[in-house]
Structure 1
Amino acid sequence: MKFAYSIKQKMKIATFLFAIMACMILIRILEDKSVKSMNESFVSMYNDRLVPATDLFYIAENIFEKKYTLDSFLYSGNLSHSNATGLKDQVNSLNSTIDSLLKKYEKTFLVKKEKQQLTELKARLASLIAAEQHVMALSLNHTLEDGRKLYETVGRESSMKTLEKLTDLMSIQTQVGQELIQSSASMVSRSKLYSTLQIALAVLIGILIVGIISASNVVQVRNDKFNLN
């Protein structure tokens, strides 16, 4: 009877220890998953937020450069074949750079709102390029005065609308970046919780081991006394 009771108690202890071990394994898996998610979040922060934000800045810089180039041409009063050829080459080069930056930006992870804004930005850029080409053609085929009038009524407005759309995209970049930071902070908190639980379970196992050893010593002492009697 005592033997059966002893086996039953050992089975209970073994089952309890197995449950604790299973919990520790599960916590470890969750912790590894949390660390992996944190790493992915930081990588996304760099690849999908920081780098694209820099690309958007360069796109804006190139649009300003085109605006400055057209301003210089239209208001310099110097309409020569060499100047016109140089202007076209410079504007085409800037458009090519903008197109390359946009294609690079498209390859990054974009939220739904970013995709919508990007589509609108492309439409704005196409409108801006058309307006610039029209202004240059009018200036070369007619007079600089005609080119200036068209630029002041259409070209500048198109340029400003394009820059406004870029600003909207940059704002979304900031918002999504803040969400990633909050997500990372939440994952760090969970990782700390998992570590605390692991320590608590380790302490509990230690207490159980000490308790089992103490109980074994008590039983051994009792058996020795019984044998002496």
Structure 2
Amino acid sequence: MNILSRIHNKAKPLLLFLVVMVAILGSSVLEKNMMRDLKVSVSSLYQDRLMPATGLFQLNDLMYTKQQLMRGYLADSGGVRLPGTQAQLARHNQEVVALVAGYQATYMVADEGRVFQDFKAHLRHYNALEAQLLATPAASPAAQTRALEQEFNRIHSDLRSLNLIQQRVGQELSQSSVVTEGNATTLSNLKIALLIIFTLVIQHALLTSRHPLVPKSMQNFNLN
């Protein structure tokens, strides 16, 4: 019975040690996952929000430039500016295609994807109307000119909506990063607290044990 009691007394610190180690390992895994999520959020904030937002501003500027070129061309009834206008529009169209492809490669939320599809449809229609007007320099039907302006307004509205979505999702990612960082800090503090508690409990168990690990004969041993 004395042996069983001794084993029981020595098993309690060991059991506590195992519980604390499991808790520390679990919190370490959670902390690692949180830090990975934080890294993904920061990366997404830059790659999928900040960079595309810059592209939206560039797209908007290019569309305004294209609009001004077409207005200047349509105001020139003689069509003298046609060759230069076509060359400039072709260059701007290539830039637009590159920006659209870059934006399409990023991650989009559901409503962002829908607006982006609308934008691409309006852009295709705008480019088709633009090409038709350039193909008939002698006569520019008023209906086509109005349709071009209407399509430009739709494109401008789409870009504005995409920019608002970018701002909203960016704020959500930023808030999520702050929460994740706070949770990771809490887990780190919890691990430190568990280690301190474990150390104190083990120390208490060793000091108050009726069957100390060091025999009394060894405790009274004097090197002199």
Report the TM-score, using the length of structure 1 for normalisation. Answer: 0.86
1:169-208 → structure 2 map (5 Å cutoff) = 169-208=162-201
Q: Do 2:112 and 2:165's aligned partners in 1 also have CA atoms closer than 8 Å?
A: yes
Is the 2:79–2:138 contact (alpha carbons within 8 Å) kept by the matching residues of 1? no
What one-letter code is carried by the residue in structure 2 that aligns with 1:141?
Answer: A
Query: Match of 2:89, as an amino acid?
Result: V
The share of aligned pairs that are identical, in percent, is 25
Q: Which runs of 5+ in 2 are unaligned?
A: 218-224
Matching residue within 127, 147, 152 for 1:154 = 147
Deviations along 1:186-216, whole A, 9 cap, x unmatched? Answer: 2012112101211210111121132133225
Question: How much does 1:134 deviate?
Answer: 2.3
The code of the aligned residue for 1:90 comes to Q
Residue range with higher mean Cα deviation, 17-26 or 203-212? 203-212
Contact 1:135 1:155 in 2 (8 A): no
- Aligned partner of 2:138 in structure 1 is 141
Structure 1: gaps of 5 or more residues: 225-229
Task: Tell me, in whole angstroms, the C-alpha distance in 2 between the residues paired with 1:100 and 1:60.
Answer: 14
Kindly state the Cα deviation for residue 50 of structure 1 after the two structures are TM-superposed. Answer: 0.6
- Aligned equivalent of 1:227: none
Contact 1:56–1:170 under 8 Å retained in 2: yes
User: 5 Å matches for 1:68-217?
Assistant: 68-76=68-76, 79-80=79-80, 83-138=81-136, 140-142=137-139, 146=140, 149-150=142-143, 152-216=145-209
- 1:13-32 map, 5 Å: 13-32=13-32
What SS is found at the alignment partner of 1:141? coil
C-alpha deviation, 1:152, in angstroms: 4.7
Point out which structure has higher relative CO (alpha carbons under 8 A, 6+ apart).
Answer: 2
Given residue 66 of structure 2, which amino acid in structure 1 is its aligned partner? K
Q: TM-score with structure 2 length normalisation?
A: 0.88
Check 1:6–1:218 CA distance in 2 against 1; reply closer, same or farther (3 A cut): closer
Distance 1:61 1:112 in 2: 26
